[in-house]
Amino acid sequence: MTTVEQLQYSDDFVRTLPGDPRTDNQRRQVHEALYSRVEPTAVPAPELLVLVPEVAALVELESSPELVQVLAGNRIVAGMAPYAACYGGHQFGQWAGQLGDGRAITLGEVTHAGETLELQLKGAGPTPYSRTADGRAVLRSSLRELVCSEAMFHLGVPTTRALSLVTTGQPVMRDMLYDGHPANEAGAIVCRVAPSFLRFGTFELPTARDDKATLQALVDYTIGRFYPGMSVAEMFDEVAQRTAWMVCEWMRVGFVHGVMNTDNMSILGLTIDYGPYGWLEPFDLTWTPNTTDAANRRYRFGNQPTIAHWNLAQLAKALLPVCPDPEPLRRVIDQWPKQFSELYRGTMLRKLGLNGGGDTLDEDDGLLTSLGELMTTLEVDYTLFFRRLAAPERITEACYGEVTPVEHAILDRWIAGYLARAKLEGLAETERARRICEVNPIYVPRNYLVQEVIDATDRGDRAQLLQLIDVFRDPYTERAGLAHFAGKRPEWARHKVGCSMLSCSS
């Protein structure tokens, strides 16, 4: 094991790419630079709530009082090169100009066993990109990010990781619902871990400013580090494919990002920036967890593929100045909807335990179309419905409310057709059930479960958070004593703040 002082740090990002010549921490527009050097602001009374052992093991990091000080932003050790990244982005479809890391500070890069990972503190104080904000984060949003990013990893969804959660002992004023009622909340800092936090918006900003030199340096760095040997067009094609897979995996498990702005899209196809995310409970293609998006529902569950495509188009535009031939970029954009549709179709068939293709193509399309209609009609729980298909006699357990005789008849007809389709593959019942349970989790970070743990942690109960994290370490295996974590959303949570919709306030 290694102490935080003994980790092998590198500074490729700040050493390779153009940086802000100013070293003060005044809010400002930063030009011809991809980062500003800035250090975290110390907090008075840090308490380590969680150190995720699997993430610490990635760099063989051991816990210590010194580590807690680092994770709280109270200490920088030799070799670290803290900075806040400069980027822009489209927010809710509109160009927002410079955004940047307003409350995130990357401590440095850690190299271990041939892999380099960035350690980034979220909520560690103001940066030149904080605009009018304080650079801090509250416990509820920090806890939500740690729980969900780790759950997503164990679900098999591409994601950033979370190393730790520290409370600061410093209250933070927030207006949770943006309704004119601000209040003090417990402050916290989460340490995020990823190979890179580069975003689509990182590429958009220099292009919007006609700064080709900075864009070229960024593209050269990205290709050299993450897409070696590729051309710009080949890199973009790979990013598009990774993005398609990521969004398909979101849809597979029922995840709704909530704020798919271009500054929240990873150049590596990872899920980043867990803000007002939500978990689909009753099946509803129009559901969004974000109160800011309540009117237009741009980032609703069923619209995530369309938004990913739109975001990729913005990235393609940003790459045009350094791509000699724009045609390959255009071709990727034009072909992406069809490619995604085929990928998503395969994903849904996997959720049913089926292979698909060949002679069953038309039959499968009809089966999936009728499935969507069925889930909408019956108001089924998305997670439980697919899981209960392993034992169809239990399928009504996934329904909210009573199932009428007419609805029962519709459900029975669909199940009979589905089971007949499964027999075309020669699937034994045990094999079909095994496939379903491998693809469809039983435990997911339901909105109300996470809120219950936030409330308990606020009261000083530290055990419930650790239990919740442990439940999500093995989300596909149903275990005794964990029925509470596999149940449908209770009625009291239907409209409760934090359980139905959330704001971006954190």
Which of the residues are catalytic? 263
What is the amino acid identity at position 213?
A
Q: State how far the Cα of 99 lies from the Cα of 131, in Å rounded to an integer.
A: 9
Q: What is the 3-state secondary structure (H, E, C) of 105-148?
A: EEEEEEEECCEEEEEEEECECCCCCCCCCCCECEHHHHHHHHHH
Tokens found for residue 461: 């109960």
As to burial, measured by CB atoms within 10 angstroms (0-12 exposed, 13-18 middle, 19+ buried), residue 492 is exposed
Angle between helices 361-378 and 405-423 (to 10 degrees): 150
- Beta bridge partners, 311, equal none
Dihedral over Cα of 453, 456, 460, 462: its sign: negative
Q: State how far the Cα of 185 lies from the Cα of 302, in Å rounded to an integer.
A: 33
- Count of CB atoms situated within 10 Å of the CB of 219: 21
Q: State how far the Cα of 311 lies from the Cα of 214, in Å rounded to an integer.
A: 21
What is the amino acid identity at position 5?
E
Q: State how far the Cα of 489 lies from the Cα of 230, in Å rounded to an integer.
A: 46
What is the DSSP pairing of strand 47-51 with strand 83-85?
A: unpaired
Residue 19 per-residue DSSP state: -
Backbone angles phi, psi at 52, to 5 degrees: -75, 115
Q: State how far the Cα of 102 lies from the Cα of 235, in Å rounded to an integer.
A: 28
| Whether 163 contacts 55, CB under 8 Å | yes
> What DSSP element (H or E) covers 223?
helix 212-226
| Whether 127 contacts 173, CB under 8 Å | no
Q: State how far the Cα of 260 lies from the Cα of 252, in Å rounded to an integer.
A: 17
